[in-house]
Structure 1
């Protein structure tokens, strides 16, 4: 009887060590392991997709590089005004000043014909009053540029002039102020060309502005790049104003500027660069080496 008890105990211990024997009718569920290999996809050949498309009977549509155009303004300055050399430096009472005045009178014959054409569409156009109006548009447009008022700037400049004014100013800070007029603005050139078809006239008026302004441009880190805020400079500019005359709702807007060939070069931009320091070893200090820091210079 004692032998039977010991045999049962031995079978119980064996069942704990081998659960398969304890559960004779247990079902075996296979478990799928994760794949350890990678099958690359079939190689695609993009050497000549159009050739394969034609072989498959597919016709690929032809892509045209179309340039967007607008008819609210012209694409350039027609017959640009050529400023006389030395303009703004000679007095009208000197010999050179009288020569320039006589040349301007001879060149104004074509401008008078264009003024008549402009008056056919704009009855209130007067050269003397228009010069003051053009200067107001000029000042307001530059104030909108400084304040990043793009919506109002579109109503003051044409679609051709807008990209030239805002290009490169995204990460910069501009400080511009209009101080005074050294000479009253005056109209020096008027043209009335047509574009696309006959009778589609555009009025272009060149206004001479001799003013005193201040300009300072800072980079995105607040470092001065160009100009000075507290030092005004004399600026002589020839600003072109344009209007689509046949459009009854057209407005005079700034279209561009004429830079004469004899104009002095602009000041260089002050660039801020990082000067690499000396290479230090773990046991050295920067103060002990006392290196000479190079002075900044204009690029």
Structure 2
């Protein structure tokens, strides 16, 4: 009985195989032979991190690369150099003591006059070099132009216009003018010029490389101005809006001479050692008080300001 069953199964198997071969031949099915055989490559010890795992864990990639035999390129943290302006004032002008107070007819005034004539020799050489790069440079006209730059820069400072202020002030002078003015209101006004501005000093230094010239011109300006600084609560901290003051200033205007698109900008001020001390700033703070009802005044209340309790930090 087992033999007839086995024969029938073999016959069925052969019939199905023949049918499959005939179907593949009719459909023109072709099984390509694989061209590449899988071969085991060199084992990698350094595996790059997966996407999205970069900020999840702190892995020392340099040590992993060294273990894998990969040499990392050394990184140099260099400080950027700004070549649009210099970092300071070269050979600053020394204002004579008692300027705008002593007359040239007095004994001390004549001494100061002779010292200015001695210092003017180096300034004349610098002015000649500046005229080689700036053909329109004239000392008399430049003094008036420097005064206009000074007035425009301070007007934009009161308006907090950063774009316009950057075009009139160098990168060295900008942080000095804007430092500490975030929560303050500045009211500045130029009234009149007591004496015509004049060029008193000029230097033409080079920086980084020979031939990279910068022009620095010191302008003496004696004018009448008003200045008032208010804090964030609207209280007066310095100066007055109504009372003008006579101000004697020595402005340093700078330009990158090699750059054909360079402009004359305010670079700084020279404060003489004999200048009087500035007025102290009145700092105000907000003291917490009681909540007032409508129609109630604070003066009517007998309110005492709470003082903090003394605390002993260390014995």
Give the TM-score band, short-chain normalised. 0.7 to 0.9
Aligned match of 2:285: 273
**Alignment match, 2:36:** none
Structure 1 match to 2:39: none
1:145 paired residue among 157, 165, 175? 157
Separation of aligned partners in 2, 1:102 and 1:287: 64
* TM-score of the two chains, using structure 2 as the length reference: 0.69
2:233 match: 221
1:197 pairs with 2:230: no
Query: In structure 1, how many angstroms separate the alpha carbons of the residues matched to 2:146 and 2:300?
Result: 63
Distance 2:268 2:300 in 1: 57
Contact map agreement 2:62 2:72 (CA 8 A) in 1: no
- Could you say what secondary structure the match of 2:198 adopts? strand
- Out of 232, 256, 261, the position equivalent to 1:244 is 256
TM-score (normalizing by structure 1): 0.73
- Structure 2: which 5+ runs fail to align? 1-57, 291-297, 306-315
- The alpha-carbon deviation at position 59 of structure 1 amounts to 7.7
- Partners of 2:185 and 2:274 in 1: CA distance: 30
Q: CA RMSD in A?
A: 2.9
SS at match of 1:239: strand
Query: Once the two structures are superposed, what CA deviation does each residue of 1:241-276 show, in whole Å capped at 9, x if it has no partner?
Result: 001111111111111111111111111010113568
Question: C-alpha separation between the residues in 2 aligned to 1:177 and 1:109?
Answer: 36
2:126–2:203 CA contact under 8 A, matched in 1: yes
Unaligned segments of structure 1, at least 5 residues:
1-45, 279-285, 294-299
Offset of residue 72 of structure 1: 1.2
**Which of 79, 103, 108 is equivalent to 2:115?**
103
State how far apart, in whole Å, the 1-side matches of 2:282 and 2:132 are.
50
Aligned to 2:194: 182
Structure-1 residue corresponding to 2:41: none
Q: Map residues 139-178 of structure 1 onto 2, 5 A cutoff.
A: 139-178=151-190
* Partner Cα separation in structure 2 for residue 109 and residue 245 of structure 1: 21
